Amino acid sequence: MTALAPTPRLAVLPDRRALAAAAASEIVERARAAVDHKGSFTWALAGGGTPRDLYTLLADPHAGFRGEMPWQQTHVFWGDERHVLPDHPDSNFRMAREAMLDAVPVPPHNIHRIPAEEADAARAADLYEAELRAFFAREDWPRFDLVLLGLGADAHTASLFPGSPVLAERVRWVAAPYVPALASFRITLTPPAIDHAAAVLFLVAGDDKAAAVRAVIEGDEPPALRPARAIRTISATRAADPNAGELLWLIDHAAARDLSKS
C-alpha cells in the first residue's frame, strides 16, 4: 500500500485576531501535554510578521494564555533566521524577544538562538546544528514537539525558497542557503529536520497568501516550485509510522479565499 501523506488538519478563522487566539490555544494545549508526558516542550518559532500577534497574545498577562503555558519547561528554537545581528530590525530572534520572550519566564538557557551574528552564515548553521545535535542527543533527527511555520506568497516556508538546493537536503539538520531573491544568506532548518517534528503548524493570514495556500494544500507542483510542499511529503513514507507527525494549518478567511469549499 502506498503510504499516504498524513491528512492535514485545517481550520479557517474569521480574522487575524481569532487566528492568533486559535494558535495560542493550540500551542498551550500541546505545551501542557508535552510537559505532562516528558517534562519539556520543544518549540521552533517562526519568523516574519504573522506570528507577532500570537507571541504577544501568549505573553499578555490579561489574555488567559500566559498563565497556562509551562514556560519554565519550554525550550524555544527558531526554524530560521536572517543573517543579521540579534538586535537588527530584521532579526526573527529580536521580534520574538520583543513580542514574547522578554515578558515570560522561559529560562535564558532554554532559549536556543541561531548565532546569525557569525560573519560566515555556513558557520552559523554549523554551530546551530551542533547545538541541536547536543540537545536532541542520539536522535537521527530533531524531534521538536512543535515547529511553527509561516508561508510566503511564493509558498516558501522557513528559509526554504523556490529553487533552493536546500530543498533536496537529506542529511544536514541546518543549512545556510544564499537567497538570490533577497540577495542575502539565511540560516534554516532543512526539510527533514522540520519534517521529523511531532507537529508542524502553518500559521497563515492575508489575501496575499491565498494563492500560495491553495497551491500548497490543493496543488501538485513540486517542492522546488512550492517549498512548503516539502513538509510532510518526505514523511509520507512515514505515514504508517506510529511516530509520524501531525500537520496543522491555521489560516484566516482571507488566506483561505482560493481553497475549494471541500
Q: Which amino acid is at 45?
A: L
Residue 42's beta-bridge partner residues?
75
Closest CA to 158 of 45, 55, 74, 10: 45
Exposure on the CB side of residue 165, measured as CA atoms within 13 A = 7
* Rounded-to-integer distance, Cα 239 and Cα 31, Å: 23
Determine if 92 is a binding residue for ligand 6PG (CB under 6 A).
Answer: yes
Binding mask of the shown chain, residues 177 to 216, with x at each position contacting ligand 6PG by CB under 6 A: ----------------------------------------
CB 254 within 8 A of CB 210: yes
Determine if 47 is a binding residue for ligand 6PG (CB under 6 A).
Answer: yes
The three cell numbers of residue 258 are 482560493
Smallest separation (angstroms) from ligand 6PG to the CB of 84: 11
Determine if 158 is a binding residue for ligand 6PG (CB under 6 A).
Answer: yes
Burial 180-201 (b: 16+ CB within 10 A, else e): eeeeebbbbbbbbbbbbbbbbb
If the CB atoms of residues 73 and 186 are measured against ligand 6PG, the closer one turns out to be: 186
Q: Could you tell me how many residues of this chain bind ligand 6PG (CB under 6 A)?
A: 14
Closest CA to 199 of 2, 65, 31: 31
If the CB atoms of residues 24 and 46 are measured against ligand 6PG, the closer one turns out to be: 46
Binding mask of the shown chain, residues 59 to 88, with x at each position contacting ligand 6PG by CB under 6 A: ---------------------x--------
Out of 150, 162, 192, 245, point to the residue binding ligand 6PG (CB under 6 A).
150
- Segment lying near ligand 6PG (by CB under 6 A), choices 16-24, 149-157, 167-175, 216-224: 149-157
Out of 157, 164, 190, 235, point to the residue binding ligand 6PG (CB under 6 A).
157
Out of 22, 45, 46, 147, point to the residue binding ligand 6PG (CB under 6 A).
46
Smallest separation (angstroms) from ligand 6PG to the CB of 13: 15
Smallest separation (angstroms) from ligand 6PG to the CB of 150: 2
One DSSP character per residue, 93-134 reads HHHHHHHTGGGS---GGGB----TTSSSHHHHHHHHHHHHHH
Task: Compute the chain's Rg from CA coordinates.
Answer: 17
CB 5 within 8 A of CB 233: yes
- Segment lying near ligand 6PG (by CB under 6 A), choices 14-22, 122-130, 152-160, 174-182: 152-160
Binding site for ligand 6PG (CB under 6 A): 46-50, 80, 92, 150-152, 156-159
